[in-house]
Amino acid sequence: MQTWNKEKIEQGKKNLEGAELKGLDLSGTNLKNANLISANLVSANLSGSDLSGANISGAKGMRADLSNANLSGANLLKSNFSGANFQESNLNGVDLMGANLSETVLIKADLIRAKLVETNLLHADLTGADLGEAQLTGRYQREGYFSRGANLNNAKLVGVKCRKTDMSGTELADTDCTDADFMDAKLSEASFKRACLRSACFVNAKLGDVDFRGADLTNCDFSGAELIETKLQGVDLRTVKNLSSKGLELSLIDSNTQVPDYIIVKWTSEDTYECRLK
């Protein structure tokens, strides 16, 4: 088995497919455009490394340290980096389709325009991360089938930026999205069941068929948001800002839904109602 060190790795970075790099200290290494397909990076230290444009598809990097690394434009398709540390890393435009990022640290990571279709982010910490214009739902171009969206259940998304992000069908149950920014985001059919969404911004967001049941929507801003069959049964909306009466009328509510004092709900039958502003 070949023995690797930083110098050899940098010199041979075009031919590291399947390389055994487990546990190595590769901090600060220049791996720009490297071929790391199916490489073993388990517990490796890649902090501060340049992996921009690298092909890391199918690689194993569980518990690896990639903090402050540059992975912009890298391909991590179907890789496994569960438990890895990507804190403050540059993941701009990275392809993470089908990747396993469960329990990863992505605090303040740059995920702008990242491809996260069917990415597993269960229990990940994305506090302060920027997912602007990222794609969390769509089609595998290589495999041609429709995806429901990324799995972010139980993730921490405090202060996350998701402006103009496509999150249709994304699983966000039991997440902490306090102060999250979903302005202009596409969230149709997403699930926020039991999520903490205190002071979250949904300005101009697409919220058709979104499930908010059991969620905390304290002080959320719904200005210009599109609500069609949005599930709000049993939800406390009393502190929600800028909720339109038309949007509420097109949503699904019940007798346990608590509405803002600026909207009047008139029940015309057990399950039909009309809404108007006071």
pLDDT digits (tens, 9 = 90+) for 76-102: 999 999 999 999 999 999 999 999 999
Contacts of 11 by beta carbon, 8 Å cutoff, 6+ apart: none
pLDDT digits (tens, 9 = 90+) for 101-123: 999 999 999 999 999 988 999 99
**Cα(144)–Cα(148) distance, rounded to whole angstroms?**
13
**Cα(135)–Cα(255) distance, rounded to whole angstroms?**
36
Check residue 249 and report its DSSP letter: H
Can you give the pLDDT of all 278 residues of the chain as single tens digits?
577 888 888 888 889 999 999 999 999 999 999 999 999 999 999 999 999 999 999 999 999 999 999 999 999 999 999 999 999 999 999 999 999 999 999 999 999 999 998 899 999 999 999 999 999 875 444 444 445 678 899 999 999 999 999 998 899 999 999 999 999 999 999 999 999 999 999 999 999 999 999 999 999 999 999 999 999 999 999 999 999 999 999 999 999 999 999 999 999 998 899 999 99
* CA 128 from centroid of its chain's CA atoms: 12
- Nearest CA to 9 out of 68, 57, 49 is that of 49
Reading the block at residue 211, the tokens are 């499930």
Q: Where do the domains of the chain lie, and which CATH numbers do they carry?
A: 1-90 (2.160.20.80), 100-278 (2.160.20.80)
**Cα(83)–Cα(64) distance, rounded to whole angstroms?**
8
Bridge partners of residue 241, in order along the sequence: 221
Contacts of 114 by beta carbon, 8 Å cutoff, 6+ apart: 91, 92, 93, 94, 95, 96, 131, 134, 135
